[in-house]
Structure 1
Amino acid sequence: MTSTFRIGGEIGVGRLGFGAMQLPTRPGDARDASIAVARRAVELGVTLIDTAHMYGWGANEELLAEALYPYPDDLLIATKVGVAPPVPPNEATLNGRPEFLRDQVEQGLRRLRVERLDLLQLHRIDPETPLADQLGTLRDLQDEGKIGHIGLSEVTVAELEQARRIVDIASVQNRYNMLDREHEAVLDACTAAGIAFLPWRPVLPVASATAKEIAAVAAELNATEAQVGLAWLLDRSPVMLPIPGTSTLAHLEENVAAADLHLTEDQRTRLTDLATT
């Protein structure tokens, strides 16, 4: 099992990343703790951090810039666009109109203090806007040097295939973990094509029906059940790049340590079979 992956065939990252969504951004002690967590992640060797315009409507991007700018040469901060903030009484909505995507990309560049977003993902496909218009806009921004690689989030195999006929897709970010494998076919398609797969919500509380088996493997490895879940993901496919999130240093260090766990064939089989039991 390799410990690194080249996104888009170019950007080398460690396969266990960090999801910044859970970091509090309001001024005060919680924000100071968030900055400490982001910095500690980089100290521990994390080279892939995931954020989005939607996370605090830009506040999460600003937090990462405050914590980490100027960025280490090997650090990739991936962000996402395509969701419009809520306008009471209405909730947040998908928006893939070209002018909206372009504006959010420009905002992301300013907030992250960069001239190019090396990995920009479409947070969701807007069903009200032709996909060719959404991805065409991102391709234009790519041609302008403002985007490096383009990714998608929460897509089906058919949507991925359609998108790849329009632009090169470097990553897919779908919900996936040891007990939630709804997007197994999407993962398989990414594996076959060499597309990075960033599972969001990579670790869930263990369901009672499966707790005993996961706890048994954890005991065998002298690890936590969450670490076992992350180790299983890393073992599942070479394109898998889990991005577990946390707002505490202890949990961060626990997550990062999961990259050093190695499952035996027996443990791998027992865990994989949980989804069918």
Structure 2
Amino acid sequence: MKTPTLTLPGGTWTLGDATVSRFGYGAMQLTGPWVLGEPADRDAALAVLREAAAQGINHIDTAETYGPRVVNDLIREALHPYGEKLLIATKAGGRRDAEGGWPSARNSDELRQQIDDNLETLGVDVLDLVHLRLGDASGPVPERIGEAFQTLVDLQEQGVIRHLGVSNATAEQVREAQSIAPIVSVQNMYNLAIRQDDELIDQLAAEEVAYIPFFPLGGFPPLQSAALSSVAARQKSTPMAVALAWLLRRSPNILLIAGTSSAAHLRENITGAGLELSDADLEELNAISG
């Protein structure tokens, strides 16, 4: 029985030369525990990717480090050959170690190897969008990024990368990247409780640069969780749905990449992100950051 097609909330955004749904899909959860190894149910992982495409989602976020390699292989198996409108965003700038850590890997040779690996595992000649992953697992780290970003620019000029962005970046690193070459997106941790990028989001919106938040429910202490749950109860919905709906309302340049390993949960997220939040809801939610 065919799954009904839902209306994707938030409309679309122009990402470089592509028009993408603001409701996208983050594929990080399609691995084993700790983002390592194969999923417990490979068929279910393939099914959620196919469901995303069937629902009209045409922005999928991945990384060669997820697995490592596992998620890219799944995307290729589920969706290749890719439709013309599908944009797959990946990352370069890190690797996985034997303990499951995420050490940086941003010298020129490391970045070139990561781009080659992404091209191979995704089965493409050109990567749609590559974010230079900065900082470390604890968050952004203030440091110069020019040499690493220039390596990706060189690869873009060679025709193997279409668009560039930065991830886990400070506002100063965003500006440094923009001083070298245009970027189409910034991918940072941001949600109702963690709003250090409010000013950056507004600046990027004015420049028509996308902002892609990750961990939409990360970092909530108990009091803030209670406030979110209060709005969710009033809406007869879930905290995740409210958090996603708020992000779409926060700014038109915000693109969602909510992740899940379940096709049913994906459909729930699509429906939930379309919640109509009242002025009272928004006032209560905006107070959470304080």
Normalised TM-score (structure 2) = 0.86
Counterpart position of 1:94: 104
Contact 1:202 1:243 (8 Å CA) reproduced: no
Task: Give how far 1:47 is off.
Answer: 1.2
Distance 1:258 1:241 in 2: 15
- Read off the aligned partner of 2:61 and give its amino acid letter: D
Distance 1:244 1:71 in 2: 21
Counterpart position of 2:14: 6
Pick from 64, 73, 77: which aligns with 1:62?
Answer: 73
Q: Which moved more, 1:22-31 or 1:68-77?
A: 22-31
Contact 1:19 1:244 (8 Å CA) reproduced: yes
Distance 2:232 2:162 in 1: 39
Counterpart position of 2:24: 17
Task: Give how far 1:157 is off.
Answer: 0.9
Q: Which moved more, 1:125-134 or 1:168-177?
A: 125-134
Give the 5 Å matches for 1:41-190.
41-86=52-97, 91-124=101-134, 131-190=145-204
Flag structure 1 segments of 5+ consecutive residues without an equivalent.
Answer: none
* Fraction of identical pairs, as percent: 37
The answer on 1:32 being equivalent to 2:47 is no
Secondary structure of the 1:99 match is helix
Give the 5 Å matches for 1:127-276.
131-204=145-218, 207-276=221-290
Distance 1:91 1:214 in 2: 32
Distance 1:2 1:234 in 2: 6
- Read off the aligned partner of 2:30 and give its amino acid letter: L
Closer/same/farther in 2, CA of residues 274 and 129 from structure 1, 3 Å limit: closer
Task: Supply the RMSD in Å over aligned alpha carbons.
Answer: 2.4
- Read off the aligned partner of 2:29 and give its amino acid letter: Q
Distance 2:159 2:262 in 1: 36
Q: Which moved more, 1:125-134 or 1:110-119?
A: 125-134
Flag structure 2 segments of 5+ consecutive residues without an equivalent.
Answer: 1-8
Normalised TM-score (structure 1) = 0.90
- Read off the aligned partner of 1:16 and give its amino acid letter: F
Task: Give how far 1:128 is off.
Answer: 12
Closer/same/farther in 2, CA of residues 272 and 69 from structure 1, 3 Å limit: same
Q: Deviations over 1:53-72 (max 9, x none)?
A: 11112221111111111112
Distance 2:134 2:272 in 1: 29
Closer/same/farther in 2, CA of residues 128 and 241 from structure 1, 3 Å limit: closer
